[in-house]
Structure formats: structure tokens, C-alpha cells
A and B are shown apart, each in its own frame.
Chain A
Amino acid sequence: MATKANRLRVLALYKELHRLGRDYEPSYDFHGKLRRMFEKNRNLTDAEEIEKAYNLGEYIKKETLALYSLRKYRHLKRMYPPNSTSDP
């Protein structure tokens, strides 16, 4: 049963993932895939299935966040290597 509580948190997850997708590699259609994956599950009624789909969404959110952190950290580490000040 798609309860009101479920609806709210699924929408929140969608908004969060959508915002994350803005910084993703443009050649990978993040927003398109996001929309299709959510629409595919729009008619779910079984509570367990809904929970599974929601957890997959949460997992993708965490993976994307980890990707961004790593990308930024690696970039900065290359720009500012350890034990060398910015002056030559």
C-alpha cells in the first residue's frame, strides 16, 4: 500500500537524487535514467517491494556522494600535494 508517508519520502529521495545528478558526468543521462527508474516502480503496492526499491535509491545516492567526494579529494590532492607548501 503506497501510504502517504511512503509517498513523501520517495519524493524527497527523488528530489535529492535529482539535485545530485546536476554534477554528474553529462554523457551519462543521469536525470533521464533517474526518471525512468522511478516511473518503472510507480505502481508498486507491496510494502516489501517498495522498501527494496527505496533502499536501492538510497544506495545509489550514497554511491554518487562517495564518487563526488573522491573526485574532489583526488583533484585537490593533485593540486596541493602533501608536505609541499604552495610557494616553491
Chain B
Amino acid sequence: MRPSAVRLLNILVPVKRAVDYAVKIRVNPQQTGIDLNVKHSMNPFDEIAVEEAVRLRERMKDAVKSIKVVTIGPAKSAETLRTALAMGADGGIHVEIPESAPAPEPLGVAKTLRAIVEREKEKANVDIVILGKQAIDDDMGQTGQMLAGLLNWPQATYASKVVIDEANRVAHVTREIDGGAEEVKCKLPVIITTDLRLNEPRYASLPNIMKAKKKPIEKLSPSDLGVDLTPILETLKVTEPPKRVGGGKVENVDELITKLKEAGIEAVKS
């Protein structure tokens, strides 16, 4: 009996150039958004996603054929791709949008990623898409789930552990949920979103960054993929949370009652 050919795995990791984690977020004067003239870097959850892909290859060796990273953003987003390539990805895809364009919404991103997965099918099927669970600048946390819906693939979100059984084409994922963890088994191809505790991303050393410059980055535009990234949501207003008002101490019970009355709290008539 001839053994069935084991198909090698292709992993796609979307990454986002987001506001750096250490930056103090400020609302812009027009109250339409946050000040974006600050340091940006790869979304930390996406770093964890790239790291997980690289670790899967280290564990599974030749079973992983390729790790591709993709980003949607202006020209500067190419830096984020280079960092991912320096961490161990093989090649990148940059869906370039104009600098002045509004930030893509999760549904737009998911549609773009679907188009990329369909496009990659012509060369090699994507088996696993690993995404960060949310971006730290908008905290939407929707893209992975929307992509799973659009592609009709199973999804395992908030992953804290990933084991791929390539022979049976199944993923065993431990998920972080309120009150503990649950283990799910999904058939490939699968969407996985990463939680903070999945792994500790590696540092991209200078020699690796130099090597990454030789790795290929394909440039595409949203129209090449047949996707319209025009926002369908309108942000009405963005404000900072109300400033915390300090509490006060009272000397005795009478003062406490006086203060409560001032605040409009009446005693219950017994």
C-alpha cells in the first residue's frame, strides 16, 4: 500500500504596524482619534504570532514549508515586515495603502486576508493563519474571527498552546478562557489567534536583520486583490476617560452623614 503524500504546511502570519506599547496615548485636539505622530512598532500580539510560526518550524522541522508574513499599511509598514523576516519568516507581502488613507477596519483587513489566501492557493494552499488576538492601538479583536467566518475555516482563538499533528492534519489548541483553559481540536486549514501567554518573542539580532534584507517582499495594492478598504464605520468622538477624582476622609459618623446628604443620598424611611 502506497503511503499518502504528506503535504507540507504553509503558514501565513498577518502583522500590523501599531502604536508602540510604551507610548502614552493622547487624544488629538479634534477628538476624532489618537495622536499618531508617535513611535510605531509591530503589534506585540503579532510578534507572538510570528514567534509561534517560527517555533512550529523549529519543532516540526521540514513539515513546515513556508512562513509568509503580510501587512496592510503605508510605505513605513515595510519595516514591520522586515522585523518579522528577521525573526525567521521566509517572505513578505505588503499591501500598500496611501499614507493619508484611513486605517483599515477589521472587516476590510479580513477581506484582504481572504483575498491573499485565495491568491496563494494558486501556488500553495495556506494551512494555518496565525494572528494576534487584537491590536494594542484599537483593541478591536475581530480580524481573526471575521477571517474565519469569511473563509469558513475553523478558528481557535486566545491560544496559549498550539500543537499541530500534520500527519492527521489536525491542530490541538489550548485556549485561555474566563476561569481557566479549554482544549480544542480543529481540522486544517485553521485560524489561530494568539494570547499573551503563548510564547516569548525572540529579539531580531542585527545579523538576522541584515539577512532579512535579502528576503523577498511582494508589493500589492488593495485593487490588485479586488478589495475596497473604505471604512464603513464612522467614529463620532474620541475622548479620554474621566479624570479620577480623589476620595476624602471624614472625621466621624455625623460628618459622613452630612457628606452623604450633600451627595443627594437620603436615609431609607424605615
Report A's interface with B, CB cutoff 8 A.
Answer: 12, 15-16, 19, 65, 68-69, 71-73, 75-77, 79-80, 82-87
Asked whether, in the complex, the Cβ of A72 is within 8 Å of the Cβ of B21, the reply is yes
User: A68 vs B205: C-alpha distance in the bound complex, in angstroms?
Assistant: 14
User: A15 vs B207: C-alpha distance in the bound complex, in angstroms?
Assistant: 10
Report B's interface with A, CB cutoff 8 A.
Answer: 21-22, 44, 134, 136, 139, 141, 158, 176-180, 196-197, 200, 203, 205-207
10 nearest A-B pairs in the assembled complex, by CB-CB distance: A16-B206, A86-B139, A65-B203, A86-B141, A80-B196, A76-B44, A75-B21, A76-B196, A83-B178, A15-B206
Q: In the complex, what's the smallest C-beta–C-beta distance from A71 to chain B, in angstroms?
A: 8
Q: In the complex, what's the smallest C-beta–C-beta distance from B75 to chain A, in angstroms?
A: 21
Q: Which residues of B contact A16 (CB under 8 A)?
A: 205-206
Q: Which residues of B contact A72 (CB under 8 A)?
A: 21-22, 44
Query: For B141, B158, B180, B203, which residue has the most chain A Cβ atoms within 10 angstroms?
Result: B203
Asked whether A86 and B176 contact (CB < 8 A) given A12-B206, A75-B22, the answer is no
Q: Which residues of B contact A73 (CB under 8 A)?
A: 200
Q: Which residues of A contact B206 (CB under 8 A)?
A: 12, 15-16, 19
| 12 chain-A/chain-B pairs, Cβ below 8 angstroms | A19-B206, A65-B203, A68-B203, A72-B44, A75-B22, A76-B21, A76-B136, A76-B196, A82-B176, A83-B179, A84-B178, A85-B158
Q: Which residues of B contact A19 (CB under 8 A)?
A: 206
Q: Which residues of A contact B21 (CB under 8 A)?
A: 72, 75-76, 79
Closest-by-CB residue of B relative to A83 is B178
Q: Which residues of A contact B141 (CB under 8 A)?
A: 86-87
Closest-by-CB residue of B relative to A85 is B178
Q: Which residues of B contact A77 (CB under 8 A)?
A: 196
Q: Which residues of A contact B178 (CB under 8 A)?
A: 83-85
Q: Which residues of A contact B180 (CB under 8 A)?
A: 83
Closest-by-CB residue of A relative to B136 is A79
Q: In the complex, what's the smallest C-beta–C-beta distance from B150 to chain A, in angstroms?
A: 22
User: A80 vs B194: C-alpha distance in the bound complex, in angstroms?
Assistant: 13
Asked whether, in the complex, the Cβ of B134 is within 8 Å of the Cβ of A86, the reply is yes
Asked whether A12 and B207 contact (CB < 8 A) given A75-B21, A86-B139, the answer is yes
